[in-house]
Amino acid sequence: MEKISKTDGVYYYGNIRCMDEHDAYRRFRDDYNRSLGAAVHLRLNRIGSRQERVHGFGFFFADKAYVRRLEDEFASFPKVPYRIIGFLSVSPVRMIRDIPEFDDEEKLYRWVDWICMSGNDKLYITGRKRNVRKKRFKR
């Protein structure tokens, strides 16, 4: 790594004449990152770690009578936990384990429609890491 200097309004990175201060800093940053290696790649100008931005999802049904029938039929069912097990392209893949057993296959399909209906608060996500503040000092 070289020193950035300015002489008569012209920036230099070591002995290399730069177009402007941004060019000088870019050269310094590239040398600095190259010297650190792959373990801390692009330490300067690094982007923060990716935040999870997965929010609710749901189906929309145009048949309001069907929606009312679903709400009446499954209103007594408890909330169902689900986990995000990965991503397929940019869409999260969800896993629901607590599926009730039904004698009728059509009832199962109606239950899936109901549980994934938009605006329904019967699904909740589990398995996320919680932000727990650690005590740094013992009292």
The DSSP line for 31-94 is HHHHHH-GGGTT-TTPPPPPPP------B--S-HHHHHHHHHHHTTPPPEEEEEEEEETTEEEE
At 35, is the pLDDT very low, low, confident or very high (cuts 50, 70, 90)? confident
- Rounded to two decimals, the pTM is 0.47
Residue, of 4 and 43, whose pLDDT is higher: 4
CA distance 134 to 138: 11
pLDDT at 55 over 80: no
Q: What pLDDT does 134 receive?
A: 57
Q: For residue range 81-139, list pLDDT tens digits in order.
A: 877 777 777 677 777 777 788 888 888 888 888 887 766 677 777 776 555 555 565 55
pLDDT at 33 over 80: no
Are 3 and 18 spatial neighbours (Cβ–Cβ below 8 Å)? no
CA distance 120 to 60: 11
What average pLDDT score do residues 56-63 get?
71
pLDDT at 13 over 80: yes
Residue, of 76 and 132, whose pLDDT is higher: 76
Are 127 and 83 spatial neighbours (Cβ–Cβ below 8 Å)? yes
Residue, of 115 and 43, whose pLDDT is higher: 115
Q: What pLDDT does 34 receive?
A: 77
